[in-house]
Amino acid sequence: MIIIFALILLCTLIYGPQIWVRYVMKKHSAELSNIPGTGGELAQHLIKQFQLKGVDAEQTAPNSDHYDDNDKKVRLSPSIYNGKSLTAIAVAAHEVGHAIQFYRQEQITHLRKKFTPLAKTIEKISIGILFSIPLVTVIFKVPHVALLTALVGASGMLAAVLVQLIVLPLEWDASFNKALPILVEGNYIHREQETAVKSVLRAAALTYVAAALADMLRLWRWLAILRGAIR
């Protein structure tokens, strides 16, 4: 019973943040008639207002909102780009916040430049190590070697999550030092909408961490599959 409870608690800690992020985004995604423009229009407006030369906003795939500093693009998913909701304008402002960070070459941008590629590299290597377990087992025919390989791969996945936590200040700055002041001081939202917008901005800041934690749950599934393959 204790083991079951511990597993449920662990799954909640790992997958709970992503569920919460999705819940907050959906909760405030209703179209509002008093919002004068879409998320995409707001992004274009803010890019001009802050004179972010060479930066543009465009529509991208669903659930893939981000700022690409290589292409100088604020990329917004269809529901954000075309939406007139609190979620749409908050996420759009958050991504423009990233554009402002990189355009000004703020020191905090080095977090993403340095650690995000590192996290992706670590994750790819870890996945490769995990999928090599059946081959390692066949070659060495020693269960302990396979277990050690699995532990190395799992440790790598955990390291990737920790690296995403290092980048969190960059996300927090985009939400609460850039997007929120822009929306409040620019009167883009009403006073009574501020609490809801803060929730969306908080969720936007935690999106990558929540996704990284969810990857840990997928890691367990991989391990279960590989364990079956080893047997």
Token match 């998320």: residue? 39
Q: Which two three-digit tokens encode residue 202?
A: 């908080």
> How far apart (Å, rounded) are the C-alpha atoms in residues 3 and 48?
56
Q: Tokens for 7?
A: 């597993």
The answer to whether the beta carbons of residues 29 and 83 sit under 8 Å apart is: yes
On whether the CB atoms of residues 98 and 70 are closer than 8 A, the answer is no
**Pairing state between β 66-68 and 73-76:** antiparallel
The yes-or-no answer on residue 123 being catalytic is no
Residue with tokens 């990558």: 208
Catalytic residue among 31, 41, 58, 95: 95
Q: What gap in Å lies between CA 78 and CA 40, rounded to an integer?
A: 9
User: Which residues are known catalytic residues?
Assistant: 95
